[in-house]
Structure 1
Amino acid sequence: MAAAPGDTSAAAPGAYPVGVRILAFDRGPGRPLPTTVWYPAGPSAGHPGTGTVARDAEVAAGRFPLVIFSHGLQSRPEDHVQMTTRWAAAGFVVIAPAYPYTRKNAPGYTRNDLVNQPADAWAVVTGVSRLDGTPGDLFAGHLDTSDVVAAGHSGGAYTAAAMFTRGHSARLRGAIVIAGARPRFEFGGPPAAMLFIHGDADPTVPYSTGRSVYARVPWDKGFLTLHGLNHGSYLSPGRAGFNEVMTSTTDFLRWRLDGDKHARCAPGPLRSAFGPDKSLCG
């Protein structure tokens, strides 16, 4: 199932123009996972920051790390294009499956299927990763598959966080949990840094819920409070909190996937969320 071209485009200022492709994955006959992938594109896709997204454009020179992004209940990957394209423009391959029973207009919609989505997300990461070694594929030789960050909003934040149970792959290097609900699992496995973002006036997922999940994380963690903001208005350009969300999340990706200590240590919302770290920042 391909999203309409207009649904996968957005202004995405950054170092790269942005390409998009639609891939068909599944985890068995009852779990189709049509997936939108935004990625750094080459010069033929246009100039960075022009506001266009080129379908099936050539990939920019180099290898780019992976971000698996999960949408919320009754949402779709393309509903988050203002964020995902900005991450792609910053140099990341953003993989966004449409989940079979929680996406908008899903036949047989049920929120209870959230528990199955962490396995779906990893299956899609695995499928995209294989394309790096597939001769002739658009992504061949362009994917850095060694480290992955999981991100999501609302129900998708649950999905992202729930990927970090005992036995999870050491490739999972971090999570971005935006307005996430209480998980029905225990964190475990290899340590991974986690950034939580939550509005303290959220009427859908209470702020206290986000804080309680944060408290259970046994690893390096940070919490960015968006004062006076609700469940997701801050994900739209021009709205209060959007710049803080984009700056903190992009810096988090640069830190966890590019090894950029400056992105973690420089003054800004990410450093504020995690606090000072003398062992890392000197």
Structure 2
Amino acid sequence: MRVQRLVAALLVALVAGCGPAVAATDDHVPSFRPAPPRPYAVGVRQFVVDPDGSRPLPVTVWYPAEPTTPPAATSGAVSAGPVPRPDAPVAGGRFPVVVYSHGLHSLPALHAPLTTRWAAAGFVVAAPAYPRTNLRARDFTRADVRNQPADGWRLIRHLVRLDARPGNPLAGHLAVDRFAAAGHSAGGFTTAGMFTSGHSPRLRAGIVIAGGGLAGSFAGPVAPLLFVHGGADPIVPESVGRAAYARSLGPAAFLSLPGQGHGEYLTPGRPGFAQVLATTTDFLRWTLYDDRRARDRLPADAFLPGVTILTTRALSR
């Protein structure tokens, strides 16, 4: 009964609503290049959006760094993974951006096994620590999740401005017309809440991990969505994720991990991690780099009998 009450409280807070997503201005950006054929080394930087405002937003950014060839130990999907170098020089070129949202009582650093691997694959991953739901929040408020989609859009607008700011190390390296949103648990609900009516077409794709929809989600410009969920999740039942999948518009996929809980499949070496990593990475390559071969690899990426089941809708569009 206690678990059921916790689930009910979480869902009531998360589906209560969300702040409106304010569209960013879609200015012309330089031409874009194909998906990188090899992994990158990874750098990491931190900054704070609106440090003097009412909702300061500390952000951790992982990004492709020079040199482009990482150490051999980082190349395997279930290896120790890339070791980010603080303030390393950014690799040449422009890279799509993924805004990654953590769950309740969590921090961006706790998701590094996934986010650093996405950075090595050629994406800039910007992960905010939300002011009232992160692990160190002094005034933790579960219901504040409804305000986090607006924080995500605030970060997107900041990154667009930062890309044009002379002297900033990331300036000129962000593909500011190619954003995705992704997140786990409450961060998955936050991600869904960014896809509301009138959202900017800059936001091209979403990945909802162990989450579901907020009020007003899945409206506006159609964007491909990937849902990842444990079949025995005791915190956010898989049925919540499947309901969000059914409500979503346009191309979508649902990666289920039968028998698994709220996120153990995000830990390297655990069953399903390699499949989740491959599926999410190729989903991002398809939606942000226009890599159709990556889209065609998704069924094979996700395939592990007894561990994963992939359902898709209209991915050939």
TM-score computed with the length of structure 1 as normaliser: 0.89
Q: 1:77 aligns with which of 108, 122, 125?
A: 108
SS in 2 for 1:274: strand
CA distance in 1, matches of 2:180, 2:136: 27
Instruction: Indicate yes or no: 2:176 matched with 1:145.
Output: yes
CA distance in 1, matches of 2:200, 2:132: 25
Contact 2:231/2:261 (8 A) holds in 1: yes
Identity %: 52
SS in 2 for 1:43: coil
Q: 1:268 aligns with which of 271, 292, 300?
A: 300
Contact 2:44/2:88 (8 A) holds in 1: yes
Contact 1:247/1:269 (8 A) holds in 2: yes
Per-residue CA distance 1:29-61 (angstroms, 9 max, x = gap) = 220100000000012996462742100110011
* 1:246-257 → structure 2 map (5 Å cutoff): 246-257=277-288
Give structure 1 stretches of 5+ with no counterpart.
1-13
CA distance in 2, matches of 1:42, 1:262: 26
Q: 1:136 to 1:232 in 2, by over 3 A?
A: same
- CA shift at 1:140, angstroms? 1.6
Give structure 2 stretches of 5+ with no counterpart.
1-37, 75-80, 304-309
CA distance in 2, matches of 1:153, 1:90: 20
Q: 1:192 aligns with which of 210, 213, 223?
A: 223
| Residue of structure 1 in register with 2:97 after alignment | 66
Give the paired residue count: 266
SS in 1 for 2:109: helix
Instruction: Indicate yes or no: 2:24 matched with 1:24.
Output: no
| Residue of structure 2 in register with 1:108 after alignment | 139
| Residue of structure 1 in register with 2:128 after alignment | 97
CA distance in 1, matches of 2:95, 2:89: 13
Q: 1:43 aligns with which of 54, 67, 79?
A: 67
Aligned partner letter, 1:53: P
- CA shift at 1:16, angstroms? 0.3
Q: 1:113 to 1:253 in 2, by over 3 A?
A: same
SS in 2 for 1:210: helix
SS in 2 for 1:195: strand
Per-residue CA distance 1:140-199 (angstroms, 9 max, x = gap) = 211111111100000000000100010111111110000003422242100001000001
Aligned partner letter, 1:39: Y
Aligned partner letter, 2:271: A
* 1:78-227 → structure 2 map (5 Å cutoff): 78-227=109-258
- CA shift at 1:28, angstroms? 6.6
Per-residue CA distance 1:244-276 (angstroms, 9 max, x = gap) = 110110000000000000111124246944267
CA distance in 2, matches of 1:62, 1:42: 11
Instruction: Indicate yes or no: 2:92 matched with 1:54.
Output: no
Per-residue CA distance 1:187-213 (angstroms, 9 max, x = gap) = 210000100000101001011111111
CA distance in 1, matches of 2:257, 2:55: 35
| Residue of structure 2 in register with 1:231 after alignment | 262
CA distance in 1, matches of 2:302, 2:197: 27
- CA shift at 1:27, angstroms? 8.1
Contact 1:19/1:45 (8 A) holds in 2: no
Contact 1:149/1:173 (8 A) holds in 2: yes
Aligned partner letter, 1:77: P
| Residue of structure 1 in register with 2:31 after alignment | none
- Ranked by relative contact order (alpha carbons within 8 Å, sequence separation 6 or more), the top structure is 2
CA distance in 1, matches of 2:174, 2:248: 29
Aligned partner letter, 2:48: A
CA distance in 2, matches of 1:59, 1:205: 37
CA distance in 1, matches of 2:215, 2:51: 22
CA distance in 1, matches of 2:311, 2:280: 11
